[in-house]
């Protein structure tokens, strides 16, 4: 209590007492200095935003180009030539200041106005040209080494218009809008995708439903969708966010949230407080780069083609708040603190003091204070986070009734308005001990759901730092997709290990200001009704967590280097291995979801690649029937080419599922039923897959530091009787897999399926390279 009172006393900038002699005023210069420096930081941020807004507004031109235009116009005027064709004289005639300026002054002012208008017109023209250029996607469909003249000219023009160093959001207004594909094309591609999954009668029935839909309701819905595409920035993203994520009433833990892991082989330090100190610092350095727009825009690897950066805007200071009808994403402009959970207690940790970011050593010092704090949780506090892990509606009702005012609202605000959430876990995780494989599985489950109450699943992301120095994160899905979070986490891990680093004894670097006020313990008044709901939410979440079966394994036999030598796409290779593994596991084929991105378009998010195709099924059946090797290899390459084409179509706005989803939403708004759309949207994805991008920033050389390989991340199964598979292609010689399913389904087993994946990978490589098996034997011997 004394500490809290002392902190409160220091926070008061001035005090006054009324005495018989008058008013006695006491100023706290230290507090006033803190206020001044914090205000100075806020003004610097505002000025930086204004400056960036202007720089973005003139891109792809520069501010200096305005001066060039003015000088050029003045020079031509000096040479008795009028490049404006009389417009400058017209402007001069209508100047309201004509009486107070000399003739020469009026001419100069008219030239400035004309030059500015001309400059702005040129900027708009350049931006329009860049938008047209970025709308060209045929280059993606051209074979490597056989690039057309048209594409070469296009690439040259894009490089010319992108030659200036852009800010993070410089390309946003130049990105094209996502087009609405023709309904006929979407239906044809849909029928092609389900043909290998249906018998003859079932396929004929779906063909009839699709034809009826196209002739009757489909074209009507399509018109509404085209109208939305003309009006909205992106015709998919807002509905996708609302109806797929925010309107869901089931737990977001496991069902929606996903996780990212630490390095596989190394831990930069075994000191929990030190690892937390560097991790928190690295995340705030990333936020600073986002706020200042100092990050380079993400691009398609190997090209200058930019990707949409809109998802970065809500990365920090963001929380998903529950609602009885729909959840809401709340974002705050700034936050100077993080919320920390340790052994059932919540703290607010300020990471800025007097307008400066605390050093990593100071944050470590503050974290150690939390770790050493002997206080016990208040009644109902320790498992309060379970409210965010259970069903959404009960949490919304409890939040509205018991967290809308008083001490509970103040403490909840500290969590929801924090830059992000930090859990100091009292467990040790990672690839360690006598059975590292089992420990990796436990590590995955810990990041995916923890104890169901020691994470705040509503935050945009929560960082978990374990007792042995390992870390990881759990991310909420509605605000962004995995590549955006992977970009953040890649920066964090690299900055932690290579830029900030540690002393020889494992502590953070930097000096400590010992006068720092201690982290603020959050206070709660949790009535019995809330505690009862906490218990109910925890029971729901615990049942869900116990049912999840996770298996994480590094595949080390070969990587993308060997696959590329066979002139094969690594992603297509892995996807075909998954098809083969699933067929061997279940004896059938299934609807397969592979996540692709549509960030070539403004505010684009994801699209589905239906990886199970007629070609993939024909190849798997031929391989399992032990048909001729050369025939199987031809089918393999044909299947890989088909997969690559499906992926390109999805990236360029010609996918299947987002279009059908939006048509379904329009039908619901109009109050009409479509048997076709209803059936399509109810089909289960029994194999849901995703590749985690790697080395998006190239902050260190993976070849020279192979021990700093990331494990990637994973997610829970989408279908109760299916698998979730995430994979990350690390370096040239490793692919890490994350497999999930549910114990309650007797037909699924993550370890068994993991073994099937490994065997399928080996069999496919042996098919492409018959000498591979002998090479593997030599390596093992």
| Residue range 225-242: mean pLDDT, rounded | 96
Assign 566 a pLDDT band (cuts: 50, 70, 90).
very high
Select which of 477, 487, 643, 738 is catalytic.
Answer: 477
pLDDT score recorded for residue 34: 67
Q: With 0-12 CB in 10 A as exposed, 13-18 as middle and 19+ as buried, what is 121? A: exposed
What are 489-542's pLDDT values in tens digits?
999 999 999 999 999 999 999 999 988 999 999 999 999 999 999 999 999 999
Token duo for residue 202? 């079932």
Token duo for residue 290? 């986002």
Position 9 pLDDT exceeds 50: no
Position 335 pLDDT exceeds 50: yes
- Give the number of other CB atoms < 10 A from CB of residue 143: 7
Position 2 pLDDT exceeds 50: no
Position 407 pLDDT exceeds 60: yes
Assign 1 a pLDDT band (cuts: 50, 70, 90).
very low
| Residue range 421-431: mean pLDDT, rounded | 94
| Residue range 107-131: mean pLDDT, rounded | 91
Say what percent of the chain tops pLDDT 70.
Answer: 93
Position 202 pLDDT exceeds 50: yes
pLDDT score recorded for residue 111: 86
Domains of the chain: residue spans and CATH: 271-279+305-547 (3.30.559.70), 556-609+684-780 (3.30.559.10)
Assign 683 a pLDDT band (cuts: 50, 70, 90).
very high
Position 24 pLDDT exceeds 80: no
Position 691 pLDDT exceeds 80: yes
pLDDT score recorded for residue 29: 63
Residue 487 is among the residues annotated as catalytic for this protein? no
Biggest CA–CA distance in the chain, Å, is 107
Token duo for residue 359? 């050093």
Assign 20 a pLDDT band (cuts: 50, 70, 90).
low
What are 621-663's pLDDT values in tens digits?
999 999 999 999 999 999 999 999 999 999 999 999 999 999 9
pLDDT score recorded for residue 498: 93
Residues 414 and 339 sit within 8 Å (Cβ to Cβ): yes
pLDDT score recorded for residue 700: 76
pLDDT score recorded for residue 40: 75
DSSP SS3 for 455: coil
Token duo for residue 289? 């780069």
Assign 31 a pLDDT band (cuts: 50, 70, 90).
low
Token duo for residue 444? 């995955």
Question: Lowest-confidence range among 55-59, 80-84, 187-191, 408-412?
Answer: 80-84
| Residue range 290-294: mean pLDDT, rounded | 95
Peptide bond into 40 cis (omega under 30): no
Position 4 pLDDT exceeds 50: no
| 24 phi/psi in degrees, rounded to 5 | -100, 110
Residue 453 CA neighbour count, 13 Å, CB half: 22
Q: Which residues pair with 740 in a beta bridge?
A: 550, 724
Place of tokens 């593994």: 581
Position 99 pLDDT exceeds 70: no
pLDDT score recorded for residue 771: 83
Position 5 pLDDT exceeds 70: no
Our CA angle for 181, 187, 190, nearest 5°, is 110
Q: With 0-12 CB in 10 A as exposed, 13-18 as middle and 19+ as buried, what is 673? A: exposed
pLDDT score recorded for residue 32: 67
pLDDT score recorded for residue 454: 97
Question: Lowest-confidence range among 12-26, 224-238, 407-421, 595-609?
Answer: 12-26
Residue count of the chain: 781
What are 241-252's pLDDT values in tens digits?
999 999 999 999
Token duo for residue 295? 């990050």
| Residue range 364-374: mean pLDDT, rounded | 97
DSSP state of 566: T
Position 78 pLDDT exceeds 90: no
DSSP SS3 for 2: helix
**Which of 98, 97, 120, 106 has its CA nearest to residue 77?**
106
Q: State the Rg of the chain over Cα.
A: 30
Residues 213 and 187 sit within 8 Å (Cβ to Cβ): yes
> Which has the higher per-residue pLDDT, 456 or 513?
456
| Residue range 452-464: mean pLDDT, rounded | 98
Assign 263 a pLDDT band (cuts: 50, 70, 90).
very high
């Amino acid at each position: 209590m004394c500490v809290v009172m002392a902190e409160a006393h220091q926070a008061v900038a001035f005090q006054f007492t009324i005495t018989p002699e008058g008013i006695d005023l006491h100023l706290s210069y230290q507090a006033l200095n803190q206020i001044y420096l914090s205000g100075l930081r806020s003004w610097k941020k505002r000025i930086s935003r204004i400056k960036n807004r202007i720089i973005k507004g003139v891109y792809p031109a520069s501010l200096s180009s305005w001066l060039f235009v003015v000088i050029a116009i003045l020079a031509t005027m000096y040479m008795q030539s009028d490049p404006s064709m009389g417009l400058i004289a017209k402007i001069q005639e209508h100047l309201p200041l004509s009486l107070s300026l000399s003739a020469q002054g009026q001419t100069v002012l008219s030239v400035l106005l004309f030059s500015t208008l001309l400059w702005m017109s040129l900027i708009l023209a350049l931006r329009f040209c860049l938008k047209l250029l970025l709308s060209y996607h045929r280059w993606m469909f051209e074979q490597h080494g056989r690039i057309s003249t048209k594409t070469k000219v296009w690439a040259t023009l894009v490089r010319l218009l992108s030659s200036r160093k852009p800010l993070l959001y410089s390309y946003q207004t130049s990105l094209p809008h996502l087009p609405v594909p023709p309904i006929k094309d979407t239906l044809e591609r849909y029928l092609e995708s389900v043909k290998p999954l249906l018998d003859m009668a079932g396929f004929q029935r779906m063909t009839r439903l699709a034809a009826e839909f196209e002739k009757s309701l489909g074209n009507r819905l399509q018109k509404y969708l085209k109208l939305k595409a003309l009006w909205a920035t992106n015709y998919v993203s807002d509905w996708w966010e609302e109806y797929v994520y925010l309107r869901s009433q089931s737990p977001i833990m496991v069902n929606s949230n996903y996780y990212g892991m630490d390095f596989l082989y190394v831990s930069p330090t075994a000191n929990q407080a030190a690892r937390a100190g560097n991790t928190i610092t690295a995340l705030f350095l990333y936020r600073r780069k986002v706020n200042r727009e100092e990050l380079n825009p993400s691009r398609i690897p190997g090209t200058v083609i930019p990707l949409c950066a809109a998802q970065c805007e809500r990365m920090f200071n963001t929380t998903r708040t529950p609602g009885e009808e729909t959840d809401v994403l709340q974002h705050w402009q700034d936050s100077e603190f993080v919320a920390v959970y340790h052994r059932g207690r919540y703290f607010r940790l300020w990471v800025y003091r007097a307008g400066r970011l605390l050093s990593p050593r100071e944050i470590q010092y503050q974290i150690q204070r939390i770790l050493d704090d002997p206080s016990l949780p208040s009644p109902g506090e320790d498992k309060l986070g379970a409210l965010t892990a259970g069903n959404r509606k009960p949490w919304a009702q409890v939040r509205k009734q018991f967290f809308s005012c008083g001490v509970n609202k103040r403490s909840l605000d500290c969590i929801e308005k924090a830059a992000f959430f930090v859990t100091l876990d009292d467990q040790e995780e990672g690839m360690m001990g006598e059975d590292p494989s089992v420990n990796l599985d436990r590590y995955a489950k810990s990041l995916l759901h923890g104890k169901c109450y020691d994470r705040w699943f509503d935050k945009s992301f929560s960082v978990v730092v374990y007792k042995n120095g390992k870390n990881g994160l759990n991310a909420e899905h509605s605000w962004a997709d995995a590549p955006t979070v992977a970009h953040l986490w890649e920066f964090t891990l690299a900055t932690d290990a290579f830029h900030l680093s540690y002393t020889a004894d494992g502590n953070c670097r930097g000096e400590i200001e010992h006068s720092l006020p201690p982290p603020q313990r959050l206070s709660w008044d949790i009535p019995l009704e809330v505690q009862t709901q906490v218990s109910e939410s925890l029971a729901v979440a615990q049942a869900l967590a116990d049912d999840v079966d996770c298996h994480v394994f590094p595949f080390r036999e070969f990587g993308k280097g060997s696959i590329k030598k066979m002139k094969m796409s690594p992603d297509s290779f892995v996807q075909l291995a998954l098809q083969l593994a699933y067929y061997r596991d279940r004896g059938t084929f299934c609807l397969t979801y592979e996540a692709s991105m549509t960030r070539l378009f403004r505010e684009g998010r994801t699209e589905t690649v239906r990886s199970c195709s007629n070609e993939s099924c024909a190849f798997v059946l031929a391989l399992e029937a032990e048909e001729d090797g050369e025939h199987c290899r031809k089918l393999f390459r044909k299947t890989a080419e088909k997969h690559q084409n499906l992926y390109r179509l999805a990236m360029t706005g010609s996918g299947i599922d987002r279009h059908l989803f939006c048509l379904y939403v329009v039908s619901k708004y109009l109050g009409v039923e479509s048997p076709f759309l209803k059936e399509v949207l109810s089909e289960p994805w029994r194999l849901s897959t995703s590749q985690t991008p790697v080395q998006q920033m190239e902050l260190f050389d993976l070849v020279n530091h192979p021990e700093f390989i990331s494990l990637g991340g994973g997610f829970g199964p989408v279908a109760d009787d299916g698998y979730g598979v995430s994979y990350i292609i690390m370096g040239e010689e490793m692919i890490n897999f994350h497999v999930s399913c549910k114990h309650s389904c007797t037909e699924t087993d993550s370890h068994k399926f993991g073994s099937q994946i490994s065997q399928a990978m080996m069999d496919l490589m042996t098919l492409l390279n018959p000498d591979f098996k002998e090479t593997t034997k030599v390596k093992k011997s």
